[in-house]
Amino acid sequence: MNFMDTKEHILNSLRKNVRETYDMPELSFKKRTFEDPVKAFIETTITTAGAKLMEIKPDDDINQKIREVYPDARIIASNIPGVEANLNPDTLAEAQELEKTDVGVIKGEVACAENGCVWIPQTMKEKAICFISECLVILVSRKNIVSNMHEAYERIQFNDYGFGTFISGPSKTADIEQSLVYGAQAARGVTIFLTD
Amino acid sequence: MSTKHSIAAEKFLQNGERVTRHDQTFWSVRTKRDTLAYELDEWENLREAADKIKKHTVTHLADYLEQFEQNATRNGGIVHWAKDAEEYNQIVLKILRQHEVKKVVKSKSMLTEECHLNDHLFKQGIDVVETDLGERILQLMELAPSHIVMPAIHITREQVAECFRQKGIIAEHGTHAAEGILPTGEDPNQSSDPTFLTRAARYHLRDNFMTAECGMTGANFGIAETGDIVVCTNEGNADMSTSVPKLHIVSMGIEKLIPNYEAMGVFQRLLARHGTGQATTVYTSHFRGPRPGGEMHIILVDNGRSSILGNEEHWQTLKCMRCGACMNTCPVYRRTGGYSYTYFIPGPIGINLGMLKNADENYHNLSACSLCCSCDNVCPVKVDLSTQIYRWRQNLDGMHHADAMKKAMSKGMKVIFEHPNLYTSSLKFAPLVNAMPKCLTGIKLNGWTYGHEMPVFAKKSFHEIWKKQLRSESV
Ligand code: SF4
Ligand code: SF4
């Protein structure tokens, strides 16, 4: 059977086997919102998500703040203008070159109070920076915090790169006897920089 | 007559400590789910919505698949269709051959288990490295998963340590992994500390991410309107697998499709809350096309799904999003473990999917159910799991597998359930059983009480409490 046959075969089989059809439901029920989503986001981030959070004032020096949270970092990767980095994910030939990154500094566009998720659209050539770095600093504005995932999905945008991810805290696993361990395969630590 | 499930279960039950640990582990996940449920006033609205969205999507699946293909192709992806496991395996092999791939890093996917992909690739000389920690442990131990979300939870830390030692992982990464985790002077070869073992696995898997030529992932959701593939993990292994190699192959069962982002909001909120009792997975990643200079292939797999749609009694299994909640709650699963079932997916949903795949091989699992209905009540998409199990049992007669005694018992239950008055009065008298000596109630007279402790009946039935107190309070 060639490719077209298979596709037609599957679609025909599906069309033939439907007996009764159902409509898409109305989703207008009331969803949980927070009176103060910023406060709720901070709370979720530092508790269940297992991340750190720093509130950044407009005249704070970002580079100094990064040093403050990760004083031992030797290799910093970022493509954000103004961030002092040793590696730039836009100009590397291969993702492997990011392997020894201590701290990756990236930007989030939307943050969600109910679960600590931050939407990070790919804005760099090598998205490995978001996962391979030992620790992540995620910059996100307090103006972009929403209450729940319904609101988040109304807002998220893609760039030309065909990838985006919600990240909520450091990589974790409980695969060995259900004991919670941070730093399974991706970032071991995450610090949210909450900007104005 | 015993079923394969009851025989295997009996073996599992011999290690009381293990049974208790297994039971408590999954019950604690169920409890976490409950806590999150109480936090959300819209919990039942969400389940209702998820149920209806899935019903809508699977009954319009052909249209949505076409829409998905169009959008995914426009985004730069390459879409393939596979009618069964064999076609699927061939497609994967062909892509890998075209790219001269020697090593694949793979994030957890039940579909690839279903199609026995790993064996197929190994035979062709291609190395497949599982990257979910639990899956990797099982792969190294040459074991199958015993749960669809927490596949290796039945393995002890000592067993993991022993396995890592045998496979040379501790020798290679132990010293590095011990830094800052084990007290100075402690021998990494003696340790079974979960943090240390996880760290050792991290370095071991890093090496593989750096050298593999292809990353394979499953799909938790496909979104018709945008062409996105959504993959949810806690470890970030799907992201690692697709950020370094240039080639990404997605394997998706056709029923994983949903219409749009509005629907995605509903499912994102339900998946982790139900599966692991978390408000979200750490990563919810949307793949909308290949990475720069790379290729993204999406294989849409039928393998029996389109014909399940035509099965009036069991088509709702297609709503399943493989969250694992029905296993976590099932009293039989919790006390008998995943390996007692004959199908690779255990628990309530596995009983039904196994029957749909091959009834002659898997009818044994039908005995692994007390018809308590707990699974129906936790399922985020409202699959009618226990009703389906009941229907299979009724049809066993025709398959010549019905066990005479069970038949008699379920007939008794049927009589009770179909006569509300009898049901109420038998409940009212049930507490009397509490006062009876155990030698009477626990009599090992039949296959049912054997190995089953009699339940302690509440002094008052819910019906009575409802009638006397709750109802008057609620008006
Ligand atoms: S109804 Fe059966 S399968 Fe479902 S939870 Fe109860 S015992 Fe398990
Ligand atoms: S049947 Fe329902 S509860 Fe069970 S795995 Fe599927 S979605 Fe989850």
Question: B458 with B428: CB under 8 angstroms?
Answer: no
Q: Which segments of chain A are extended strands (E)? A: 52-55, 76-78, 103-107, 110-112, 118-121, 135-141, 145-146, 163-167, 172-173, 181-182, 189-195
Both structure tokens of B285: 């990643």
Surface of A (89-148) touching B: CB under 8 A: 95-96, 99, 114-117, 125-128, 130-132, 148
Question: Any idea of the CA torsion for B136, B137, B143, B144, to the nearest 10 degrees?
Answer: -50
Of B55, B195, B278, the CB nearest to A181: B195
pLDDT value for B402: 66
Q: Which residues of A touch B61 (CB under 8 A)?
A: 14
Of B40, B82, B282, the CB nearest to A168: B282
Of B40, B82, B155, the CB nearest to A6: B82
pLDDT value for A1: 53
Q: What is the ipTM of this complex?
A: 0.97
Of B28, B209, B292, the CB nearest to A125: B292
CATH classification of B40-155+213-301 is 3.40.50.10420, yes or no?
A: yes
Which range is least confidently modeled, A8-22, A75-89, B10-24? B10-24
The residue to which tokens 């699977």 are assigned: B58
Both structure tokens of A189: 């630590």
A16 found inside a domain: no
**Integer Cα distance of B288 and A152 in angstroms:** 18
Both structure tokens of B62: 């052909």
pLDDT value for B445: 39
- Answer whether A155 touches B (CB < 8 Å): no
Surface of B (244-303) touching A: CB under 8 A: 244, 254, 259, 261-262, 264-266, 268-269, 276, 278-292, 296, 300, 302
CATH classification of B307-394 is 1.10.1060.10, yes or no?
A: yes
CB of B345 closer than 6 A to ligand 2? no
pLDDT value for B334: 97
User: Which structural domain, as residue segments, surrounds residue A183?
Assistant: 35-195
A27 found inside a domain: no
The CATH number assigned to the domain holding A113 equals 3.40.50.10420
Residue range A85-132, pLDDT digits in tens: 999 999 999 999 999 999 999 999 999 999 999 999 999 999 999 999
- Is A176 close to B59, i.e. CB distance below 8 A? no
A68 found inside a domain: yes
Closest atom of ligand 1 to CA, residue B329: 5
pTM of this structure: 0.90
**Burial class of residue B391 (count of CB atoms within 10 Å of its CB; 0-12, 13-18, 19+):** middle
The domains of chain B are located at 40-155+213-301, 307-394, 404-474
Both structure tokens of A100: 């020894």
pLDDT value for A2: 59
Residue B351 has φ and ψ, to the nearest 5°, of -55, -45
pLDDT value for B2: 82
Nearest to B113 by CA among B7, B216, B227: B216
A7 found inside a domain: no
pLDDT value for B357: 96
Question: B265 with A153: CB under 8 angstroms?
Answer: yes
- Answer whether A196 touches B (CB < 8 Å): no
Residue whose Cα lies nearest atom 8 of ligand 1: it is B330
The residue to which tokens 């566009």 are assigned: A109
- Is A169 close to B66, i.e. CB distance below 8 A? no
Surface of A (168-187) touching B: CB under 8 A: 168-179, 181, 183-187
Distance B385 CA to ligand 1 centre (A): 8
Q: Per-residue pLDDT for chain B (475 aa), expressed as one digit of tens each?
A: 589 999 999 989 998 999 999 999 999 999 999 999 999 999 999 999 999 999 999 999 999 999 999 999 999 999 999 999 999 999 999 999 999 999 999 998 999 999 999 999 999 999 999 999 999 999 999 999 999 999 999 999 999 999 999 999 999 999 999 998 999 889 999 999 999 999 999 999 999 999 999 999 999 999 999 999 999 999 999 999 999 999 999 999 999 999 999 999 999 999 999 999 999 999 999 999 999 899 999 999 999 999 999 999 999 999 999 999 999 999 999 999 999 999 999 999 999 999 999 999 999 999 999 999 999 999 999 999 999 999 999 988 777 676 643 554 454 344 434 444 444 444 444 444 444 434 344 333 334 444 444 455 566 565 555 555 555 444 3
**Burial class of residue B187 (count of CB atoms within 10 Å of its CB; 0-12, 13-18, 19+):** exposed
pLDDT value for B426: 42
Q: Ligand 2 pocket test: which of B47, B269, B321 has the largest number of ligand atoms within 8 Å of its C-beta? A: B321
Cα→Cα distances B56→A78, A145, A153, Å: 44, 32, 20
- Is B266 close to A17, i.e. CB distance below 8 A? no
- Answer whether B157 touches A (CB < 8 Å): yes
Distance B349 CA to ligand 2 centre (A): 6
Residue range A136-178, pLDDT digits in tens: 999 999 999 999 999 999 999 998 899 999 999 999 999 999 9
In total, how many domains does chain A have? Answer: 1
- Answer whether A35 touches B (CB < 8 Å): no
Nearest to A107 by CA among A135, A132, A141: A141
- What sign does the CA torsion over A41, A42, A46, A51 have? positive
